[in-house]
């Protein structure tokens, strides 16, 4: 089943491990969605969709990967063009859709720009005009990612300051995922463009990064939902204790 160099074998295995991790994450989020505070349930259902879609795509990618020869780049970008906008829409869900400035729409537009130009650069860069075209697409794609980060830090984080403490913490953590977790993708793009022989290493990093980012997004929401539910319960119990005891006739 597995053959090739050690890194190629590890990369082959990582496709299956990531598929299982994403599937397990989707199942967990789905069965736990009713055990968190009601305002977090839709966000957790969205996490189920993200992990579930990625799980299916990884199942197909594992069959397309041929060590050292063929990489499932097209399937990977199909995954990203569906799941990354959903990950950003989750910010709107956590903010209870109070987005009067249209920030979420702009986030999704910047995200599509990032994914589409990345896809063109990796799959058609040389056909469209050579090595230079690949780098033009890379610069445009990075511009899309910076656009996403700009709106996250100037818009979403600003709106989050008006929310409860659990939501603020969740949005801060999710912003860090987009900032640092997504950093592996432009790095992988550069490595594949400059040193194609490291393509298998990039696939391994992509696989691990996808599993961590997508399952991690859901875990953050799940933890925030549990914390919000516990806070609400504590508040109700505290109010009940402060109620005056009725005097019997």
Give the count of alpha carbons within 13 A of 164, CB side only: 14
Cα gap 203→207, rounded to integer Å: 6
* Ordered structural domains, the chain, with CATH: 7-226 (1.20.1070.10)
- pTM as predicted: 0.89
List the alpha helices (DSSP H) in the chain.
6-32, 41-64, 73-94, 103-124, 131-151, 157-160, 165-180, 184-194, 199-242
Per-residue pLDDT of the chain (249 residues; tens, 9 = 90+): 666 788 999 999 999 999 999 999 999 999 999 999 998 999 999 999 999 999 999 999 999 999 888 899 999 999 999 999 999 999 988 888 766 567 788 889 999 999 999 999 888 765 555 667 888 899 999 999 999 999 899 888 888 877 788 889 999 999 999 999 999 999 988 888 888 888 899 999 999 999 999 999 999 999 999 999 998 887 766 666 666 555 555
């Amino acid at each position: 089943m597995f053959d090739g160099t050690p890194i190629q074998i590890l990369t082959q295995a990582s496709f299956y491990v990531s598929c299982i991790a994403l599937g397990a994450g989707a199942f967990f989020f789905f069965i736990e969605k009713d055990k968190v505070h009601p305002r977090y349930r839709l966000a957790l259902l969205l996490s189920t969709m993200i992990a579930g879609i990625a799980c299916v795509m990884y199942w197909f990618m594992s069959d397309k990967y041929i060590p050292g020869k063929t990489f499932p780049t097209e399937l990977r970008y199909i995954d990203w063009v569906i799941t990354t906008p959903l990950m950003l829409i989750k910010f709107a869900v956590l903010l209870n859709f109070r987005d009067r400035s249209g920030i979420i729409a702009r986030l999704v537009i910047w995200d599509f720009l990032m994914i589409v130009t990345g896809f063109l650069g990796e799959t058609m860069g040389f056909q469209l005009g050579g090595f230079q075209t690949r780098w033009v697409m890379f610069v445009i794609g990075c511009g899309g990612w910076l656009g996403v980060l700009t709106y996250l830090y100037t818009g979403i984080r600003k709106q989050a300051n008006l929310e409860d403490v659990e939501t603020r913490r969740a949005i801060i953590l999710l912003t860090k995922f987009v900032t640092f977790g997504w950093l592996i993708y432009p790095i992988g793009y550069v490595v594949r463009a400059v040193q194609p022989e490291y393509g298998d290493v990039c696939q391994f990093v992509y696989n691990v990064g996808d599993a961590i980012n997508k399952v991690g997004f859901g875990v953050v929401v799940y933890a925030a939902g549990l914390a919000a539910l516990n806070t609400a319960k504590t508040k109700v119990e505290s109010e009940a204790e402060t109620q005056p005891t009725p005097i019997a006739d």
